[in-house]
C-alpha cells in the first residue's frame, strides 16, 4: 500500500493512519528524553499491507527528529526495529539486550 499518510493525534497520544473508514494506530507515551511505543493496532483489512511499518517508520522518525530515545515495548515495534539496524542508535540502551541489538 503506497502513500500511507500518518498523522499525529496528540490528544490521543498516537500516530494514526485513516483508510477507508478504518483507523490503524501506534500509541505512544512521551517521557523526558524518551518515547515509549506500547501498542500498535491495524484493522484486519490492512494487515500485511505495510500500514504498521509506515507507523513504525513515522514513530522512529519522530523520535529522531525530536532527539528522543525509543523504548519499543510493543511486540510489533520491537520486531520492526530488529530488522532496521539504521534505527538501533536511537533505541534506549535499557532495551538493547532484550531486543538482541
pLDDT tens digits, 53-97: 999 999 999 999 999 999 999 999 999 999 999 999 999 999 999
On average, the pLDDT of the chain sits at 95
| pLDDT at res. 2 | 53
d(CA 101, CA 88): 7
pTM above threshold 0.85 = yes
How sure is the predictor about 19, in pLDDT bands with cuts at 50, 70 and 90? Answer: confident
How sure is the predictor about 29, in pLDDT bands with cuts at 50, 70 and 90? Answer: very high
18: closest CA among 38, 35, 1, 37?
1
Amino acid at each position: 500500500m503506497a502513500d500511507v499518510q500518518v498523522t499525529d493525534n496528540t490528544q490521543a497520544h498516537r500516530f494514526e493512519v485513516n483508510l477507508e473508514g478504518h483507523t490503524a494506530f501506534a500509541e505512544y507515551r512521551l517521557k523526558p528524553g524518551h518515547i515509549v511505543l506500547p501498542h500498535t493496532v491495524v484493522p484486519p483489512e490492512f494487515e500485511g499491507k505495510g500500514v504498521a511499518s509506515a507507523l513504525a517508520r513515522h514513530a522512529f522518525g519522530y523520535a529522531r527528529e525530536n532527539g528522543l530515545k525509543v523504548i519499543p515495548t510493543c511486540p510489533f515495534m520491537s520486531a520492526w526495529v530488529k530488522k532496521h539496524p539504521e534505527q538501533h542508535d536511537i533505541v534506549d540502551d535499557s532495551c538493547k539486550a532484550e531486543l538482541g541489538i
